Amino acid sequence: MEKEPTIWFYEDTGGIKLGLPVKDILFHKRSAYQDIYVMEIKGHGRALVLDDCIQLTEKDEFIYHELIVHPALFTHPHPQEVLVIGGGDGGSVREILKHKSVRHIDLVEIDAEVIEVAKTFFPTVSVGLKDSRVNIHIEDGIKYVKTTDKKYDIAIVDSTDPIGPAKALYEIEFHQDLGQRLNEDGIMIIQSECPYYNAQFIKDLCIRLRTIYPIVKIYVYAMPTYPGGMWSFIYASFKYEPTDVEEGKIKARWQTMTTRYYNPKVHKGVFYMLPQFMLEE
């Protein structure tokens, strides 16, 4: 039997090249900001690719979205007002809405095309975008943070890689403004790339954030379809240590929802189980 022809998509970071076998290209469009692809990947379902970088696959997106959200929302004792910068696919919003205390989410996404693509091709990821508690702003997150007078308990910076339009989301000016938008016990989470290949970037970002927040923690996790296989987030807070939360309190809230990766032991484990090379940086 003749083998099925295979097209390979490669994400090349300069340090490593990750290849995924493509069954079909379902969508392609150049928006005002970026190249958008939706691909059907063998063994992984549909994948969203922006400017040749994998944003999510249906197979493993739950890992990223659960871990960018739940460590912060389970650490805060009563999160009600949440800001999401980026995250137009809706995955972060879906996870935030699992917390019954949340009253309102402002999603600020610069590219309306990403939201429409997510609604069309990734309904299980974008499902929360139609919730009445979600207010979608199609605008630059940097401008929004600088001009809004709203205050938030949690801010999630669910951005693409720190190149192109997302680069400024990692600079000190943005984070100084963002800190002003948080309540005095607010928490901020930002995705912070692969520790293997971006160690200096992560270190520099932590240094910047420590000029704003008294508590700054890195946490890591395995992400199969991101180059390098290990990815990281940075947690920053004015008040709450994520490892100080009692496991029983996490469990009581967690049992009211469904997660596939996050649980009360993972909450502390991602902070405690840093590899030695990261502790020595």
Please indicate, yes or no, whether residues 98 and 228 belong to a single structural domain of this protein. Answer: yes
Average pLDDT over residues 154-171: 84
pLDDT value at 276 more than 90 = no
On whether residue 172 sits in a domain, the answer given is yes
Helix (H) or strand (E) holding 63: helix 61-75
* Domain co-membership, 195 together with 249: yes
In a domain, 1, yes or no: no
Tokens 């997150």 correspond to what residue? 141
pLDDT of the residue at 263: 97
- Residue 42 belongs to domain with CATH number: 2.30.140.10
| pTM, two decimal places | 0.95
Residue 141: inside a domain, yes or no?
Answer: yes
The verdict on residue 210 lying in a domain is yes
Least trusted range by pLDDT, from 50-54, 166-170, 256-260: 166-170
Q: Say whether pLDDT at 176 is over 80.
A: yes
What mean pLDDT is reported for the chain? 94
Asked if 156 and 83 count as a contact pair (C-beta separation under 8 A), the reply is yes
Q: Which of 131, 158, 161, 185 is catalytic?
A: 158
Q: Do 79 and 113 fall into the same domain?
A: yes
Give the orientation angle of helix 172-181 with respect to helix 199-209, to 10 degrees: 50
pLDDT of 231 above 70: yes
pLDDT band per the 50, 70, 90 thresholds, residue 196: confident
Looking at the structure, do residues 210 and 127 belong to the same domain, yes or no?
A: yes
**16 belongs to a structural domain:** yes
What tens digit of pLDDT does each residue of 77-129 get?
Answer: 999 999 999 999 999 999 999 999 999 999 999 999 999 999 999 999 999 99
- Domain CATH code at residue 257: 3.40.50.150
CA pair distance 253, 258, nearest whole angstrom: 11
E strand or H helix at 124: helix 123-126
In terms of domains, do 198 and 231 share one?
Answer: yes
Rounded Cα distance between 134 and 128, Å, is 8
What are the tens digits of pLDDT across the range 117-158? 999 999 999 999 999 999 999 999 999 999 999 999 999 999
Q: Answer whether residue 2 is part of any domain.
A: no
- Round to whole Å and give the CA distance between 77 and 108: 24
DSSP-derived pairing of the beta strands 81-86 and 152-158: parallel
Residues in CB range of 231: below 8 A, 6 or more apart: 64, 191, 193, 194, 195, 220, 221, 222, 223
Residue 199 counted as domain residue: yes
Tell me whether residue 139 is in a domain.
Answer: yes
Q: Are residues 42 and 155 located together in one domain of the fold?
A: no
Query: Same domain, yes or no, for 27 and 90?
Result: no
pLDDT value of position 1:
46
Question: pLDDT for 3-45, tens place per residue?
Answer: 565 799 999 887 788 999 999 999 999 999 999 999 999 999 9
Instruction: Name the residue range of residue 123's domain.
Output: 61-279
Q: In the chain, what percentage of residues exceed pLDDT 70? A: 96
Are 43 and 69 in the same domain? no
112 and 167, same domain (yes or no) = yes
Determine the pLDDT at residue 122: 98
Same domain, 42 and 173: no
Is residue 75 pLDDT above 80, yes or no?
Answer: yes
Confidence band, pLDDT 50/70/90 cuts, at residue 218: very high
Distance CA 275, CA 162 (A): 23
Residue 216 three-state SS: strand
Is residue 158 flagged as an active site residue? yes
AA letter at 211: T
110 with 211, same domain?
yes
As a whole number of Å, the CA-based R_g of the chain is 18
Query: Percent of the chain scored above 90 by pLDDT?
Result: 85
Work out how many domains the chain is built from and give that number: 2
Residues 135 and 15 in one domain: no
- Last residue of some domain: 56, 71, 91? 56
